[in-house]
Structure 1
Amino acid sequence: MYTLYWEYMAGSIVVQATLELLDADYRMRYVDMEASEHLSPDFLKLNPAGRIPALDLPNGTTIGETAAIVTILGESHPEEPVAPQPGEPDRAAFLYWLNVMSTAGYVTSSRVGHPERFARDDTAITQVKEQADRDFAGFFRLMNKTIAGDVFFLERGLTALDFYLTMLSEWISDREALLRGLPRLRDLCAAVRETPAYRTALVTHRIPSLDATG
């Protein structure tokens, strides 16, 4: 059994969606980052980087970092279409764009969602947020041009890349406005949101206060 350590609207979205697509046997363990549980001695024994998500593998190993996790899951379940396998022609493209998403995309999303972590005074925080929104929009324009499949990112069809890219889109400041101008990305995200695996993950990760306010 896998154990997924998760937080609301975190990178654990893509890991849960991948586990769901694999029909894997897994359980969830919530880590309250606002209460600094990710920095507790017990959690740091599992993931010394103190980051979410982390995943306990069936062999007892714990691995962190979303890109590493989905790569391992793909290799552990070669019969499922999560990721191209070593030796397949689109394996290099998968790894390349997965790392672009996890660096250029995910890191920028942190500045979008938490600019206060990157500056000290209100003026600087505002500037960080404005620049982050511009950088995030540029990242998604690149993704829109790079989509190779009819709907999904790779020509082969649905993979973990599509979960990752759609997850990143959840963190756009004005999601609908941006997607209106990026039709290929809009269609990809809409298709992914219709998959049972991603829907399950998004329901799990939705912040409870959003459910209360609608």
Structure 2
Amino acid sequence: MRTMRCLAATVPVLLILSGCIVRDELTTLTICPDGAADLVILRSNIRSTKSGDAADQELAKYRRKFEEQGEQQFTRIEDAGGEIVEAAWIRRHPPFSNFIHAHLPDASSLERYGSSDGGEDQWSVATRFQADGSQRRLEIEITPPEASNPSMCSSSHRDALRQRLADGISETRIATVEGTITAAHGFTVADDKQSALLATGRIIEILEENEQVEPFLEWAVE
């Protein structure tokens, strides 16, 4: 079975290719030396691809689920043992804008947040955080569906992923606390070497090429 490693925040993009709510999303995951982390998700230009009454109904449902903290992102955080620190509207009228701030209390919570058992027809994801002295490493193993369901790895599936990214900007930054990045693959490292941006475009290219890749991020803590 072909495997691919990449960072946790790609999971929502890979696992959720359906639905008619689109948005621009910036995710920042700030990781402490012990593996605890703060998650900040900023969303803007939230809109429906439907029109008329259907769009109004879909947006009303989205607004209600966000206010009730019933959407999938809240569930993922809580299932991982995380705490919702704050969730609030920036713009409460379409196109919506909002943000979520959550705290993942330890490395185990971080790993659970970034992991998912997809079963036979979804991507399976396993996140790993490693600490060895002053060295830290974050990686995720993403395993495509079984060959019995090749449509999930087909060109049409990859085209759907590319279109979803085109419909809404999705960027993920991993920031370190008291850390200096020493090695990376699958990321663009900031000049100050304290954070890195996930190279989502390159991951899509790898899917298209049907190749194996192992992105990771390593850093040293002071």
What TM-score do you get using the length of structure 1 for normalisation? Answer: 0.29
Q: Which has the higher contact order (CA 8 A, sep 6+)?
A: 2
Q: Please state which structure has a larger fraction of its residues in strand.
A: 2
